[in-house]
């Protein structure tokens, strides 16, 4: 108990603590502990995710909501076996098992309320996707219909891949490919977005 409490109090970045990423409905319902096998490795990769990607999002759009963060290998395997929207642990794009040996990756499924409100009124998810592409060193993005939630992943060497279950479904950008829209067209999509890291925070 004390060790888990200590882990949860580990600060990952200016705005995030490990505890925010340990909550799991699957774990709570099934009684599966969501505790890293390698806490130091999970913290190291979680810090990279938060400082590189999540902090800039929060400092631009305001508070973001973490839907699903870290998953232990046991928890993720259970979710995959029971078809609970978890990829196989061994899948190269599985980003929630931060301490998986031999694969340097950390990701989370998040919602940006500022954009979710506009998405509910018909805003195109690609507006946000291209903003992220033009501003952050993400590795993978994967968008979902509900609330325009999306997985965002960090890797030491980003893949720069964008996929979506929202129409138009499929792969918007493959690793190594150039965007179909040039920079001026992409920028025209998000002229009303807040200034990058423009929100005054304490």
Q: How far apart are the first and last CA of the chain?
A: 32
Q: What is the CATH number of the domain that holds 118?
A: 3.30.1380.10
Does any domain span residue 201?
no
Predicted local distance difference test score (pLDDT) of residue 4: 66
Does any domain span residue 194?
no
pTM for this one? 0.94
Does any domain span residue 30?
yes
CA of residue 151 relative to chain centroid, distance: 4
Q: What is the mean pLDDT of the chain?
A: 94
Does any domain span residue 196?
no
Q: Above pLDDT 90, what percent of the chain?
A: 82
Does any domain span residue 52?
yes
Q: How far apart are CA 152 and CA 74, in angstroms?
A: 22
Does any domain span residue 197?
no
Q: How far apart are CA 79 and CA 163, in angstroms?
A: 21
Per-residue model confidence as pLDDT tens digits over 102-124: 899 999 999 999 999 999 999 99
Residue 99, both tokens: 């301490």
User: How many structural domains is the chain composed of?
Assistant: 1
- 17 pLDDT band, cuts 50/70/90, is very high
Interior/surface letters 35-71, b for 16+ CB within 10 angstroms, e for the rest: bbeebebbbebbbbbbbbbbbbbbbbbeebeebbbbb
Are 67 and 109 contacting, i.e. CB atoms less than 8 angstroms apart? yes
- 52 pLDDT band, cuts 50/70/90, is very high
Does any domain span residue 202?
no
The answer on pLDDT for 84 being more than 90 is no
Domain that holds residue 81: 2-189
Predicted local distance difference test score (pLDDT) of residue 3: 64
E strand intervals along the chain: 65-68, 106-111, 140-143, 150-154, 161-164, 170-173
Q: What is the mean pLDDT of residues 8-19?
A: 94
Predicted local distance difference test score (pLDDT) of residue 2: 54
Q: Of 26, 6, 28, which is closest to residue 18 (Cα–Cα)?
A: 6
Residue 197, both tokens: 């890291």
The answer on pLDDT for 42 being more than 50 is yes
The answer on pLDDT for 141 being more than 90 is yes
Does any domain span residue 58?
yes
Q: Above pLDDT 70, what percent of the chain?
A: 98
Q: What is the mean pLDDT of residues 137-160?
A: 98
Predicted local distance difference test score (pLDDT) of residue 176: 96
Predicted local distance difference test score (pLDDT) of residue 5: 72
The answer on pLDDT for 1 being more than 60 is no
Q: How far apart are CA 108 and CA 71, in angstroms?
A: 10
């Amino acid at each position: 108990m004390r060790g888990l409490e200590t882990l949860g109090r580990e600060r990952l970045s200016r705005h995030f603590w490990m505890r925010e990423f340990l909550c799991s409905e699957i774990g709570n319902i099934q009684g599966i502990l969501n505790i890293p096998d390698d806490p130091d490795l999970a913290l190291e990769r979680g810090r990279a995710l938060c400082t590189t990607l999540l902090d800039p999002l929060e400092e631009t759009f305001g508070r973001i909501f973490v839907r699903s963060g870290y998953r232990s290998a046991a928890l993720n395997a259970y979710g995959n076996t029971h078809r609970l929207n978890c990829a196989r642990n061994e899948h190269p794009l599985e980003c929630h098992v931060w301490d998986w040996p031999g694969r340097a990756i950390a990701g989370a499924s998040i919602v940006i309320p500022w954009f979710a409100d506009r998405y509910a009124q018909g805003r195109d998810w690609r507006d946000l996707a291209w903003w992220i592409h033009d501003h952050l060193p993400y590795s993978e993005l994967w968008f979902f219909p509900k609330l325009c939630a999306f997985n965002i992943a960090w890797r030491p060497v980003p893949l720069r891949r964008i996929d979506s279950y929202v129409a138009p479904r499929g792969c918007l950008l493959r690793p190594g490919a150039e965007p179909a829209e040039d920079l001026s067209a992409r920028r025209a999509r998000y002229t009303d977005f807040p200034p990058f890291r423009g929100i005054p925070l304490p």
